[in-house]
Every structure is written in structure tokens, then in C-alpha cells.
Amino acid sequence: MHDPAIARLRDQDPAVADLVEAEARRQYEKVRLIASENYVSPAVLEATGSVLTNKYSEGYTGRRYYEGQQYIDPIELLAVERAKRVFGVEHANVQPYSGSPANLAVYMAFLEPGDTVMGMSLPMGGHLTHGWSVSATGKWFRPVRYGVRADTGRIDLDEVRDLARRERPKLIWCGGTAIPRTIDFAAFAEIAREVGAVLAADIAHIAGLIAGGAHPSPVGHADVISTTTHKTLRGPRGAMIMTTEEHAKAVDKAVFPGLQGGPHNHTTAAIAVALEEAARPDFADYAHQVVANARALAAALAERGFDLVSGGTDNHLILIDLTGRGVPGKPAAQALDRAGIELNYNTVPFDPRKPFDPSGLRLGTAAITTRGLTEGEMPRIAAWIDEVVQAAAKQDDTALDRVAGEVRELMAAYPMPGWAPAP
């Protein structure tokens, strides 16, 4: 049963309702290890499903282009004030539709087309929007890219500094999608200052850890901070840009009217709800448990002979290099999905294979921690992953279905926010 209920949807449109129910059951039964995913609270779901979606409100609180903003204005103000309090920033814009548009707004605020931007290379762990070639950000700007050291799997700050001195980027990105280690915001800030670049910290993956005090904050180091709201922060699909008073106007103008029209007010309300949740003491416990679980899972995987990029993790994310395990990332991820363990295939640094069939697997503990799993369950999950990867190498499907049953049994003991099986 979906919670909040979807009874009207069921009556009116059973085709859609059946698929929503089926997806909810899938989320309930699986060990969800996709590093960018989570389970939001029923309160966040209710805000997302509210009549606020009916309202247009181009502009900002107190300066709108449409009438009837008596209740939208205080909602957006709540979201902004909570973002400022949770992250300790001077200014927050909560209107970007998602992480990629938020990052485009950062370019719009600080750069002209053709300017040089420096970001982490996508196959090394960066994001498309940090200047990768197929992205608008790599086509409309001049990208230069840093990576990790081959021997440590960690960001090579000497390379970052040398590249920045040589290429003189106007904007430097730190943060990414597959970085299992703490980001040294102070070191990036020093490099940016030396070359006169704007430093943008993209904390999409780690925002919840920062909010909960389980990862250092970029505040005071980065000129501008972008984040999604739906990953470790456990809010609706959306994004925010945070900055200082100095850059507030440029950022706001870039989001609207630079790139967007009306903000998604139902999302804004849900962001406000999620930020109130993130300010509670139990969210700090959650954030620390996410990291404790990732550490325990990494240790259990390493014990089983898995090769982890950088040797382990400091945050919610683990990157496995499957080279030498007899099966590449894609078939391994497919076998794991069939066995009830959901993750994604991923490139690893210096991957000799193609991005659509790379050598690695990426895992994260944000979602399973929301379900209530703790360190004690991690060796079991590592054992299943080991068993399934071996079965995939031998193309033994019977093992996969047995593991799926065991996974279902485990997860039935941990309630899911937003859905429960019919009693």
C-alpha cells in the first residue's frame, strides 16, 4: 500500500497505479545500492504530490510576475531560510529543476561562452556537467580535466595545481559522481585563489553527509556550491545553489530569467520539508550511519578480495574494480539486479573498457541506511555480491534467483518509508 494512498489514481487509471505499486514493491524488496538514490519520507511525498503544482510563480519571493503568491512566497522563503541554516550559507536559490540545470546556472552566472572551465574527468569520477565533451558544458566552454593518481586512486592535487597554473580556468569544479574519498575543499580553494578562478563545489552526492556533519563543508572555501536535493540529502528531485551575498544576484539572475521559467513549487515545498528533517539530530545520526555502513561494506568486500578504487571509502560511496574477477561491470550489475541487489556499472579510473561496458561497479549506502540497516548486515551483503559476481562469471542463473529470495527476506524486516505490503 502506497503511503500517501493512491486510491483515486487506482480508480481512474489502473494502468499507471499498477506500475507505481510494482515499482514501490521493487524498491521494498531490493537492496538498493545505487549511490545517488534514497527513500524520501511520506511527508516529502505528500508535499511533492500537493496542489502547489498548479501554481505559476516566475520570479522570487516579493518580486513575482504573476499574482496570487500569498502562500507560495512564504513556502519558498521557508525553503531558502532552512537551506541557509542547515548549510550555514548567506544565500540559497532553491529553484533549479535538478542538478544539471543548477550547474548550467553556475556557468551562466560566472562565465561567458568559450571561457575555460576545469573539472574532474567523467571517467575518473566527475560529472557530465563539469565540462565533459558530450555535455553542453563541454561544447560551449573550453574544458580542461584533472583525474586521480593511478597509484592511490585519489585526486591528484599537484596535477590540479599544475593544470590550473597552465590553463588559467575561470571556473574550477570540485566534487563528482564516483569519488569515494573526502574532498579537500581548502586545497581546491587555495589553487583557485592562486589562479584567480571561481571555485564551485558540486556536493550533489554528499550534501546529506555535510548537513549531518559526516563530511567537511565547502562553506568558506567555495565561492558557489551546487547540490541536488534527492541523493544523500533525502529530499525530492530538485537542486539548490548556495553562495555568498556577493554572488547572490548573479546566481539568481542565471536561474531565472537566465535558464528557467516558473519554479516547481511542489518541489520547493518538499525541499523545505526535507531540510527541516535534515536539521534534526536524528539526521546527523543517519549521516554518520551511512558512512559507518559504507566503511563496513567496503571492509567486507575487501576481505573477499574485491579491488576497491582508493582502497576503501570515507563517505557513502564504494567503487569496485572488477578487473581480474572474470566478469566486467555490466553483466555483473545485471546479474546483481536479478539477485535483488541494485547498483550500477561504472567506469573506474584509467578504465581500458568502454563507458557503456566498463570495468567497475558503483555502490552507495544512503538508501539501505534509510531502511535501517546497520554495520552488522554489511558482511551478508558483501557475501551476496561475491556469490553473484562468481555466478555471473560462470553464467549460473540459479544462484541469482536463490539470492533474490534471501534478499527479499532480509528487506522485509526493514520498513520502507512510503510503501508497505498489504497486511
Ligand X SMILES: *Cc1c(COP(=O)(O)O)cnc(C)c1O
Question: Does residue 100 bind ligand X (CB under 6 A)?
Answer: yes
Residue 180 as a binder of ligand X (CB under 6 A): the answer is no
Q: Minimum distance between the CB of residue 388 and ligand X, rounded to whole angstroms? A: 26
Angle between helices 378-394 and 397-411 (to 10 degrees): 160
Taking CB under 6 A as the criterion, the residue among 169, 176, 235, 340 binding ligand X is 176
- Considering only 46-54, 99-107, 293-301, 358-366, which stretch makes contact with ligand X by CB under 6 A? 99-107
Q: Cell numbers for 360, please give them.
A: 567497475
Catalytic (active site) residue 56 = yes
Least Å distance between CB 342 and ligand X? 17
Under rule CB under 6 A, residue 236 binds ligand X: no
Per DSSP, 197 falls in state: P
Q: How many residues bind ligand X (CB under 6 A)?
A: 14
Q: Does 204 bind ligand X (CB under 6 A)?
A: yes
Q: Is 237 a catalytic residue?
A: yes
Strands annotated E in 179-298: 198-202, 224-228, 239-243
Has 126 been labeled as part of a binding site?
Answer: yes
Residue 177 designated active-site: no
User: Which residue in the list 237, 253, 304, 353 is annotated as catalytic?
Assistant: 237
Among 30, 127, 247, 264, binds ligand X (CB under 6 A): 127
Between 184 and 386, whose beta carbon lies closer to ligand X?
A: 184
Tell me, yes or no, if 228 is annotated catalytic. yes
Residue with Cβ nearer ligand X (179 or 214): 179
Active-site option among 177, 228, 313, 365: 228
Applying CB under 6 A, does 234 fall inside the site for ligand X?
no
Give me the least distance between CB of 107 and ligand X, in Å please: 13
- The yes or no reply on residue 247 touching ligand X (CB under 6 A) is no
Among 3, 10, 56, 156, the active-site one is 56
Cα separations (Å) of 262 from 58, 72, 229, 235?
A: 4, 12, 18, 20
98 binds ligand X (CB under 6 A): yes
Tell whether residue 364 is a contact of ligand X (CB under 6 A): no
Q: Is 340 in the site for ligand X (CB under 6 A)?
A: no
Name the residue type at position 44: V
All cell numbers assigned to 130: 563539469
- Of 77, 53, 46, 105, give the one whose Cα is nearest residue 262: 53
Is residue 329 involved in binding ligand X (CB under 6 A)? no
Taking the C-alpha atoms of residue 220 and residue 348, their distance in angstroms, rounded to an integer, is 31
Please tell me whether residue 177 binds ligand X under the rule CB under 6 A.
yes
Task: Tell me if residue 231 is catalytic.
Answer: yes
Is residue 48 within the footprint of ligand X (CB under 6 A)?
no
Q: 91: which DSSP letter? A: E
* Residue 66 annotated among the catalytic residues of the structure: no
Q: Which CB sits closer to ligand X, 117 or 204? A: 204
> Cell numbers 538508501 label which residue?
367
Residue 129 as a binder of ligand X (CB under 6 A): the answer is yes
Closest listed residue to residue 382, CA positions, set 291, 303, 311, 290: 303
Residues 222, 190: Cα–Cα separation, whole Å:
10
Alpha carbon distance 401, 340 (integer Å): 8
- Of the listed 30, 170, 231, 325, which one is catalytic? 231
d(CA 184, CA 188) in angstroms, rounded, equals 7
CA atoms lying within 13 Å on the CB side of residue 336: 27
Q: 127 among the known binding-site residues?
A: yes
Q: Does 143 bind ligand X (CB under 6 A)?
A: no
Window 17-36: residues binding ligand X (CB under 6 A): 36
Using the Cα atoms of residue 320, residue 325, residue 328 and residue 332 in order, give the sign of their dihedral.
Answer: negative
Do 29 and 340 meet the contact criterion of CB atoms below 8 Å apart? yes
Q: In the set 21, 202, 252, 342, which binds ligand X (CB under 6 A)?
A: 202
394 Cβ partners below 8 Å, 6+ apart?
none
153 is in an annotated binding site: no
| Active-site residue (options: 46, 58, 156, 276) | 58
Minimal CB distance residue for ligand X = 99
**DSSP assignment string, 333-379:** HHHHHHTTEE-EEE--TT-SS-TTS-SEEEEE-HHHHHHT--GGGHH
Residue 122 in marked binding region: yes
Strands (E), 263-352: 307-308, 317-321, 341-342, 344-346
Other residues' Cβ atoms within 10 Å of the Cβ of residue 153: 23
The distance of closest approach from Cβ of residue 22 to ligand X in the complex, given in angstroms and rounded to an integer, is 23
**Contact residues: ligand X, CB under 6 A:** 36, 98-100, 103, 127, 129, 175-177, 202, 204-205, 228
Catalytic center residues? 56, 58, 202, 228, 231, 237
